[in-house]
Structure 1
Amino acid sequence: MVENRPVATTLSHLVLVLGVMIVAFPVYITFIASTQTAEQIVQNVPMSLLPGDNMLESYRLALFGGKTAYGANIAPVLPMLEVSLVMALVISIGKIVISLLSAFAVVYFRFPGRGIVFWMIFVTLMLPVEVRIGPTYEVVSNLGLLNSYAGLTVPLIASATATFLFRQFFLTIPDELVEAARIDGAGPMRFFKDVLLPLSRTSIAALFVIQFIYGWNQYLWPLLITTSEDMYPVVLGIKSMISGGDAYTEWNAVMATAILAMLPPAAVVILMQKWFVKGLTDSEK
């Protein structure tokens, strides 16, 4: 029985509200800046915390690009959002498919060196992209995949973490279920499609959310292999919009682009929140 403690309940809610305010305040500032002109952002110190009247122009400039009053050219964000969406979907779906098949092979197939193969996959967790980025770039360059969707996504598809998580889940499936499927005449792939995949729905949903955000927020790898603005993801596009030195920066367009970049991953989290939480907390395997 849960005890009713008003003081503790009030304190916990205050801490929760404070945490939400700390997290949400920078987002609010970004949105407010996107509704003002660049002059208002730079000249008004401190910046006004009330929305301005330049919202439509800021988002139009961010989405479709164009030349500003100071002669600066703003690249349109729509193609960047498309590149980021393709990257996020291909990386997340590719990681899940490869990890499912890898875990299925390691758990249900008996072959020499099975344990060694699994540990070789697991050890790659010690080698993140930043460590192996030089050799990976050379391979991608030699294959002629620079400035391409394949070059942006294929090197990031493999995931030892997802393979490990699916393996641990498959190990919890009773042997009686495997025997029943075998008695019914189900082959390996039918068992995988009709039994394992339905049981893995919540885990797949949780991993999809995580990997989608991971693919959407990629910065270092696209920075290395893209030299054409046509293949810039939105995160790299935000960096390219910030001028260095004495050059003038349209901060309202930058902030509008930042807000636009937040919307797709936020939508994925909101739409799949139920499955995401269930995939992380469901213990009825």
Structure 2
Amino acid sequence: MAMVEGGTRSRLVRHALICGLLAAIVFPVYIAFVTSTHEASTMLQGVIPLLPGPDLVPTYARVLATGIPTFGDLPVATMMLNSLVMALGIAIGKIVISLLSAYAIVFFRFPLRMLWFWMIFATLMLPVEVRIVPTFQVVSDLGLLNSFGGLIVPLLASATATFLFRQFFLTIPDELIEAARVDGAGPIRFLVDVILPLSRTNIAALFVIMFAYGWNQYLWPLIVTTDPQMTTMLIGIQRALSGSDELTPWNLVMAMSLLALLPPLAVVLGMQRWFVKGLVDAEK
């Protein structure tokens, strides 16, 4: 009986701790939501309401259609589209390039292949912030400023994804490779019919991570874009907070911030099963 009571008490403590941590995470988001449903003047009264106000639909319709006055009334829908194209381009591009790179390193025999792999892996020590000046110069010389190409192409290479795909490919049994060779499968067919189906969970997990990485980019879009029509969500939020000497319209800023959460949240929830399986599958 004592052991049962101790186990029950332990579970209650764990559940209480989880609920407390969840509340600590969710409560600021809830306050942002409540703020977005009230007039901006309500936030200046010194007391933040805890219940939603009557301006939910007008506030979100306004920021999506006309934007925020302190940032030139650029529609948030345009910013979201820019960020979405950038995030999808980076995620898909990183996965394709990394998968093909790992495939070549593992399944092809060519001179200095391990040297090339470790050179790719060494780029982990050179994030975009370190190489931002020469990268900007190359993008400028290619005429890619203020374009999706300029936003996406310099961020496509991923040593992390290449390493993860390589480690997975090394676990593929030699018998499977020999069976495919006996069946007459060439490199392309082996990649499409064998490697890609086996890599689905890895691809899903990396897609979620890389999408969030692309969506949350701040420094590179800030440098490579000067056209307001190419503004991404994070840049828009920052400029909405410091765009002028006027009072900050906190209801609009909070609505914009919550809208910025939706695409990454949708990706995580939509691919949750594949994402978790890709991270914890014992065979991976």
Length-normalised TM-score, structure 1: 0.95
- Please list the CA deviations of residues 227-252 of structure 1 after superposition, one character each: whole Å capped at 9, or x if unmatched: 01100111111111113673222111
Aligned partner of 2:48 in structure 1 is 47
Distance in 1 (alpha carbons) for counterparts of 2:256 and 2:189: 46
Structure 2 gaps of 5+ residues are none
Indicate how the Cα distance of structure 1 residues 171 and 76 shifts in structure 2: closer, same or farther if over 3 A, else same.
Answer: same
User: Structure 1: which 5+ residue stretches go unaligned?
Assistant: none
Aligned residues: 280
Find the counterpart in structure 2 of residue 238 from structure 1.
Answer: 237
Distance 1:106 1:42, change over 3 A: same
1:175 aligns with 2:174: yes
Deviation of 1:160 (Å):
0.3
Tell me how far 1:56 sits from its aligned partner.
Answer: 1.6
Which amino acid counterpart does residue 89 of structure 1 have in structure 2?
L
Indicate if the aligned counterparts of 2:201 and 2:274 stay in contact, CA closer than 8 A.
yes
* Superposition CA RMSD, Å: 1.6
Q: Deviations over 1:111-147 (max 9, x none)?
A: 1101100000000000011111111111111111100
Match of 2:12 in 1: 10
Alignment of 1:32-111 (within 5 A): 32-43=34-45, 45-65=46-66, 73-111=72-110
Tell me, yes or no, if the aligned pair for 1:63 and 1:77 is still in contact at 8 Å. yes
The residue type paired with residue 281 of structure 2 is D
Q: What is the distance in 2 between the residues matched to 1:15 and 1:187?
A: 54
3-state SS in 2 of match to 1:74: coil
Separation in structure 1 between the aligned mates of residue 243 and residue 267 of structure 2, nearest angstrom: 34
Is residue 242–residue 254 contact of structure 1 (8 Å, CA) maintained in 2? Answer: yes
Mapped partners of 2:194, 2:121: distance in 1: 25
Which residue in the other structure is 1:215 paired with? 214
How much does 1:66 deviate? 6.0
* Secondary structure of 1:11 counterpart: helix
Q: What is the aligned partner in structure 1 of residue 29 from structure 2?
A: 27
Return closer, same or farther for 1:155/1:264 CA change in 2, 3 Å cut-off: same
Q: Map of 1:133-144 to 2, 5 A cutoff?
A: 133-144=132-143
Q: Is the 8 A contact 2:68 2:240 kept in 1?
A: no
